[in-house]
């Protein structure tokens, strides 16, 4: 059997080079930080000279699988009581922002006259976890390829913007690590963007944002079940429940269980502290590597194909969720 690793190595190596450069520049400008520099360098390189075909397999692998592995390693720096504490503190904010994003998104979609399937995909992607949620819902509602592409492009546009704006506003509002972590974890869409925004603010904020984001991602399950039930009730001949199982299984972030296991290992002191702290530190560096690959995946020209209405809807839902998260944190 031919190994796929030789095809992945060039893209992985390119991401590593950008990560080392971002780490170096990040030390000189800590207020920006290595994660943002990594994404920025990747975007500039991709759109200035293009992404060589030989690097594509490795870039895709690094932006997805290496990112997941990095998050698992971060678990070695978190104890279970801390994990439970963050989850409990953010539960109310997460549930309210999810409800506001979904309901408000569907209403705004009708107001902006975005077709119902595209509106639902954008609302779900913004409220839960970006492309993963879209991937789960798309087969349930029999979305067409163009609708999926529009939704993902719209969501990804605001993911990129959030990486740069959230840390700026967080510092401007003098937010604590906990408050910013919950805000980023509930109001930024994609996992990579949550991680980048969180760790750009601070190490603790990054950890909190990651935990909140992973908990939020699990909401794919009840939302997918609800959408499947609604579709089956309206048109039972579509076999939505069968499609729903496939969509959920594809989108569930199974690495979340490895993350919890890593936290349990650290909490039970099954490994020496020097080992777990080194693993967590290595995970932080791999985050930068993965984010460089995320930047290399951004084709700025693709945003223009989404059209103005889906982009306007994405902006409206994103702003609604972000403001709701801030308000709920001050009310609760």
Mean pLDDT (whole number) for 163-171: 92
Helix (H, G, I), strand (E, B) or coil at 235: coil
Provide the pLDDT for residue 179.
Answer: 93
Angle at 208 between CA 203 and CA 209, to 5 degrees: 95
Does the pLDDT at position 170 exceed 90?
A: yes
Does the pLDDT at position 328 exceed 60?
A: yes
Mean pLDDT (whole number) for 76-99: 83
Closest CA to 255 of 66, 129, 72, 63: 72
The sign of the torsion formed by the CA atoms of 203, 208, 211, 216 equals: negative
Provide the pLDDT for residue 244.
Answer: 47
Helix (H, G, I), strand (E, B) or coil at 170: helix
Within 10 Å of residue 52's Cβ, how many Cβ atoms?
Answer: 11
* Least confident among 26-35, 42-51, 85-94, 298-307: 298-307
More confident residue, 244 or 8: 8
pLDDT tens track for 174-223: 999 999 999 999 999 878 789 889 988 998 999 899 888 888 877 777 88
Question: Any idea where the domains of the chain sit in the sequence?
Answer: 79-280+302-331
Alpha helices, DSSP H only, in 65-138? 67-74, 80-111, 116-124, 131-137
Helix (H, G, I), strand (E, B) or coil at 144: coil
Q: Residue 205 corresponds to which tokens in the numbers above?
A: 């904020």
**CA atoms of 185 and 261, how far apart (whole Å):** 21
Provide the pLDDT for residue 253.
Answer: 59
Q: Which residues contact 201 (CB under 8 A, 6 or more apart)?
A: 166, 167, 170, 171, 175, 177, 180, 181, 184
Does the pLDDT at position 33 exceed 80?
A: no
Phi, psi (rounded to 5 degrees) for 306: -75, -25
pLDDT tens track for 126-161: 888 777 777 677 777 777 766 776 787 788 788 888
Provide the pLDDT for residue 182.
Answer: 93
Closest CA to 45 of 284, 306, 302, 294: 294
Render 202-215 in DSSP notation, one character per residue: -HHHHHHHHHHHHH
Assess contact for 182 and 154: CB atoms under 8 A: no
Alpha helices, DSSP H only, in the chain? 5-28, 34-49, 56-61, 67-74, 80-111, 116-124, 131-137, 145-172, 177-187, 191-201, 203-217, 220-234, 240-251, 255-267, 273-296, 308-331
Q: Which residues contact 25 (CB under 8 A, 6 or more apart)?
A: 34, 37
**CA atoms of 219 and 207, how far apart (whole Å):** 19
Helix (H, G, I), strand (E, B) or coil at 233: helix
Provide the pLDDT for residue 242.
Answer: 47
Start-to-end Cα distance in the chain: 57
| Cα Rg, the chain, nearest whole Å | 19
Assess contact for 247 and 137: CB atoms under 8 A: yes
């Amino acid at each position: 059997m031919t190994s796929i690793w030789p095809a992945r190595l060039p893209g992985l190596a390119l991401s590593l080079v950008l990560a080392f450069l971002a780490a170096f520049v990040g030390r000189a400008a800590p207020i920006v930080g290595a994660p943002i520099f990594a994404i920025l360098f990747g975007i500039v390189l991709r759109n200035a000279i293009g992404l060589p075909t030989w690097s594509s397999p490795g870039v895709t692998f690094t932006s997805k699988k290496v990112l997941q592995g990095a998050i698992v390693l971060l678990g070695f720096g978190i104890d279970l009581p801390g994990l439970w504490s963050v989850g409990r503190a953010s539960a109310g904010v997460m549930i309210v922002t999810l409800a506001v994003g979904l309901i408000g998104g569907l209403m705004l979609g009708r107001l902006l006259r975005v077709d119902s399937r595209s509106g639902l995909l954008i609302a779900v992607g913004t409220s839960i976890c970006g492309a993963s949620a879209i991937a789960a819902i798309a087969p349930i509602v029999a979305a067409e390829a163009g609708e999926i592409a529009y939704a993902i492009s719209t969501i990804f546009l605001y993911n990129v913007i959030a990486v740069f704006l959230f840390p700026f506003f967080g510092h401007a509002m003098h937010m604590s690590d906990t408050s910013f972590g919950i805000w980023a974890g509930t109001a930024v869409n994609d996992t990579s963007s949550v991680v980048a925004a969180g760790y750009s603010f601070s190490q603790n904020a990054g950890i909190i944002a990651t935990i909140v984001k992973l908990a939020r991602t699990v909401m794919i399950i009840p939302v997918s079940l609800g959408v499947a039930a609604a579709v089956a009730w309206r048109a039972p001949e579509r076999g939505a429940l069968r499609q729903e199982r496939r969509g959920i299984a594809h989108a569930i972030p199974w690495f979340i269980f490895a993350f919890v296991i890593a936290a349990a290992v650290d909490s039970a002191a099954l490994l020496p502290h020097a080992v777990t702290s080194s693993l967590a530190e290595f995970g932080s560096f791999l985050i930068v590597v993965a984010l460089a690959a995320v930047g290399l995946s951004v084709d700025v020209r693709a945003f223009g194909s989404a059209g103005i209405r889906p982009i306007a809807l994405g902006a409206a839902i994103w702003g609604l969720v972000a403001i709701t998260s801030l308000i709920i944190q001050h009310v609760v």
